[in-house]
Amino acid sequence: MLFTKIDYLNSDFEPCTGFVATEGSQIAYVGPGDPRLLPDAPSYGQEYDGRGRLLVPGLVNAHTHAPMTLLRGYAENLSLHRWLNERVLPFEAKMTDDEAHPATVLAIAEMLRFGTVSFTDMYYFDMARIRAIEETGIKANLCSGLVCFDESTYDELPNKAINEALVREWHGAFDGRLRIDLNIHAEYTTTPRVVEALGQAAARMGVRTHIHLSETRSEHEECKQRHKGMTPTAYFESLGFFEAPCTAAHGVHTEPGDWETLARRGVTVACCPASNLKLASGFAPVPLMLDAGVNVALGTDGAASNNSHNLFRELYLLALVNKGAQGDPTLVSPRQALAAATVNGARSQGRGDCGSIEIGARADLAVLKSDVPWMCPVHDVLNNVVYAAQGSDVVLTMVDGKVLYQDGIWPTIDVERALREVQSAATVIRGRL
| CA atoms within a 13 Å half-sphere pointing along the CA-CB vector of 382 | 17
pLDDT value of position 412: 98
**Mean pLDDT across the chain, nearest whole number?**
97
**Quick count: other Cβ atoms within 10 Å of Cβ 203?**
17
What pLDDT sits at residue 23? Answer: 96
Residue 81 has a pLDDT of 86
Q: In this structure, are residues 175 and 402 in contact, taking their beta carbons and an 8 Å threshold?
A: no
Domains of the chain, start order: 2-57+356-406 (2.30.40.10), 59-348 (3.20.20.140)
**CA nearest to 368, candidates 388, 353, 351, 354:** 388
pLDDT number for residue 402: 98
pLDDT digit string, tens, across residues 351-370: 999 999 999 999 999 999 99
Band (pLDDT 50/70/90 cuts) for residue 408 is very high
Q: What is the pTM of this model?
A: 0.97
Q: Mind listing the pLDDT tens digit for each residue in 44-53?
A: 889 999 999 9
DSSP string, 252-270: TT--HHHHHHHHHHTPEEE
Distance from the Cα of residue 309 to its chain's centroid: 9
Q: Give the residue-averaged pLDDT of 122-151.
A: 97
pLDDT of residue 224: 98
Q: Closest by alpha carbon to 199, among 177, 214, 184, 221?
A: 184
CA distances from 365 to 63, 317, 393 (A): 20, 22, 14
DSSP letters for 27-77: EEEEESS-GGGSTTPPP--SEEE-TTEEEEEPEEEEEE-GGGGGGTTTS-S
With bands split at pLDDT 50, 70 and 90, how would you rate the model's confidence at 41?
Answer: confident
Which percentage of the chain shows pLDDT scores above 90? 98
What mean pLDDT is predicted for residues 307-316? 98
- Count Cα neighbours of 12 within 13 Å in the Cβ-side half-sphere: 2
3-class DSSP assignment, residue 183: strand
Query: Residues 233-279: pLDDT tens digits?
Result: 999 999 999 999 999 999 999 999 999 999 999 999 999 999 999 99
CB 356 within 8 A of CB 343: yes
pLDDT, tens digit (0-9, with 9 covering 90-100), for 55-102 = 999 999 999 999 999 999 999 999 888 999 999 999 999 999 999 999
**Helix, strand, coil share (%) of the chain residues, nearest 5:** 45, 20, 35
Backbone φ and ψ for 151, nearest 5 degrees, come out as -95, 15
User: What is the chain's length?
Assistant: 433
